[in-house]
Structure 1
Amino acid sequence: MRRGTARLRTVALIGIDGSGKTTQAHRLADALTAAGRPAAYRRNASGRRWLGRVANRLGRPDAQRLVGRDGVLAVESVLRWLAIAIALISCLLTGRTAVMDRYSACQYASIRAHGGHRWERLARAGYRLFPTPQVTFLLTVDPAEAYRRIEARGTDHETISWLTAADTAYRTLPEYPSFVLVDAGRPAEEVTEQIQAHLATWLPSDARSDLTRPPSDVPPPAPTPSEPPPRSDLPARGGPTPLVAQARP
């Protein structure tokens, strides 16, 4: 998979919670593999949900009340760093394209949303070891819609204020101009089509149609009906009306 002379090694999907990163990353990895370009889905979580559950079991309302803001940022940064490192090594050994569900930009945005800007410099120093993905998709969605989706799935909870702060953080990152923006507020199928259509430019021409091909269970569109040929038993337009002979009974 090359665009020019560059081989597609890493694709990252980033965005606020509720933007659909996990769904789209799974679909992209499956589509690339089906097109003959093996890819691996990798989830680079920060452990914030896990830390929040631990805090709840210990009688604290959230992780920040348990270990403090700096503690949360330190745990997040370390756990995500380890997850990304393992994902990159695994894909390097197997030769698969790494489809990253979250990447280093997610940690920078989390630090900014928490207001811990002095931590960002330390995080960037540690994450500088990792290569920049050839393509980074930023899935954008209104924080109110993201909140509705999170509440509907019922596995965790986020506040509107946090989602808004995280959305702003992504848009203020210095890497923002290099992101491919995807409107994730649309139906998931349309988001999938936009992501795969953009990524098809990295594929050889013989594999592009496989990546963007619709699912096999969707019937092809019906052909447009053509005008039927003129009947030979009707008189030609403008010509004399033929006589019809009829036998008497």
Structure 2
Amino acid sequence: MSRSPGARRGRARLRAVALIGIDGSGKTTQAHRLADALTAAGRPATYHRNAGGRRWLGRLAHRLGRPDAQRLVGRSGMLAVESVLRWLAIALALISCLATGRVAVMDRYSACQYASIRAHGGQRWERLARAGYRMFPRPQLTFLLTVDPAEAYRRIEQRGTDHESMRYLTAADTAYRTLPEYPTFVVVDAGRPPEEVSRQIQAHLAGWLGSSADGRDGRLTDGRDGRAPDGRDVRSAVVPGPPGGEPVPIGRLSA
């Protein structure tokens, strides 16, 4: 008798989870929370911030009297530096988790670089980036945190550590949605309060991991017996995927 996809998924080893999305979508907050939740559930996880150095370049540009990183090193130079630094960060994160056996919770992954290249209008660099990043395995789950660019802009300005233009945030939002990998992403409404976003992500993972993370031992959900806070059974419920995609667990949509 064949086993259900959910049953097979529940016994598989979770090796890597990635959180991606435009700046201001809450990736870092949610990645930290997810690493903590998985560790508490008995699946030791490590947070990895796979930054491309654009914020650092921006600060350097300001110190040298330039408005942003692109004005400092040029668009091609910025994309080249960003691609190399992110590649190195991902490689080190994967090596670390391979050596330790811990789950890698990735704050940004290769898709972030492809989206950045598209948003900056450097499409000819995307082919080179994909060739370089091809060696990296695809995470078993990639959560795309979506938020209105205007809300993302408000959050960035509020934290006051960097700056992004509305034009870039809008272009990046479009870039993520047009990537060929988009149908494989678990799309999460990140415009909600952080606690609700965490519940969406963790409820989806509870379904993927099966009974071992159904809320009884690791408390990955706020409900009981593998149910989300509103009573839905996240282990088996599915909804239609994006055009051309496969049906996905209900965690893909906002609650």
Deviations 1:83-103 (A, max 9, x none): 000000000000000000000
Q: Which residue in 2 is equivalent to 1:134?
A: 140
1:205 positional shift: 1.2
Structure with bigger gyration radius: 1
Q: Which residue in 2 is equivalent to 1:92?
A: 98
Aligned pairs (5 A) from 1:108-119: 108-119=114-125
Q: Which residue in 2 is equivalent to 1:167?
A: 173
Q: Which residue in 1 is equivalent to 2:67?
A: 61
Across the two proteins, how many residue pairs are aligned to each other? Answer: 215
Indicate whether 1:158 and 2:164 are aligned: yes
- Secondary structure of 1:7's counterpart equals coil
Which structure 1 residue ranges, 5 or more long, are not aligned?
216-249
Q: Is the 2:206–2:221 contact (alpha carbons within 8 Å) kept by the matching residues of 1?
A: no
1:4 positional shift: 5.4
Q: Which residue in 1 is equivalent to 2:109?
A: 103
Indicate whether 1:212 and 2:217 are aligned: no
Deviations 1:76-134 (A, max 9, x none): 00000000000000000000000000000000000000000010000000000100000
Q: In the alignment, which of 31, 37, 40 is matched to residue 31 of structure 1?
A: 37
Query: Distance in 2 between the 1:13 and 1:206 partners?
Result: 22
Q: In the alignment, which of 15, 22, 25 is matched to residue 19 of structure 1?
A: 25
Q: Is the 1:196–1:211 contact (alpha carbons within 8 Å) kept by the matching residues of 2?
A: no
- Secondary structure of 1:120's counterpart equals helix
Query: Distance in 2 between the 1:139 and 1:159 partners?
Result: 19
Alpha-carbon RMSD across the aligned residues, in angstroms, is 1.6
- Secondary structure of 1:192's counterpart equals helix
Q: Which residue in 2 is equivalent to 1:245?
A: none
Query: Distance in 2 between the 1:5 and 1:28 partners?
Result: 20
1:8 positional shift: 1.0
Q: Percent identity?
A: 83
Q: Which residue in 1 is equivalent to 2:244?
A: none
Query: Distance in 2 between the 1:111 and 1:159 partners?
Result: 16
Indicate whether 1:9 and 2:15 are aligned: yes
Query: Distance in 1 between the 2:102 and 2:91 partners?
Result: 15
Q: Is the 2:10–2:211 contact (alpha carbons within 8 Å) kept by the matching residues of 1?
A: no
Aligned pairs (5 A) from 1:38-49: 38-49=44-55
Query: Distance in 1 between the 2:182 and 2:219 partners?
Result: 27
Q: Which residue in 2 is equivalent to 1:235?
A: none
1:214 positional shift: 4.0
Indicate whether 1:183 and 2:189 are aligned: yes
- Secondary structure of 1:211's counterpart equals coil
Q: Is the 1:43–1:101 contact (alpha carbons within 8 Å) kept by the matching residues of 2?
A: yes
Query: Distance in 2 between the 1:211 and 1:107 partners?
Result: 33
- Secondary structure of 1:203's counterpart equals helix
- Secondary structure of 1:197's counterpart equals helix
Query: Distance in 2 between the 1:148 and 1:204 partners?
Result: 37
1:207 positional shift: 3.1
Which structure 2 residue ranges, 5 or more long, are not aligned?
1-7, 224-255
Query: Distance in 1 between the 2:32 and 2:58 partners?
Result: 25
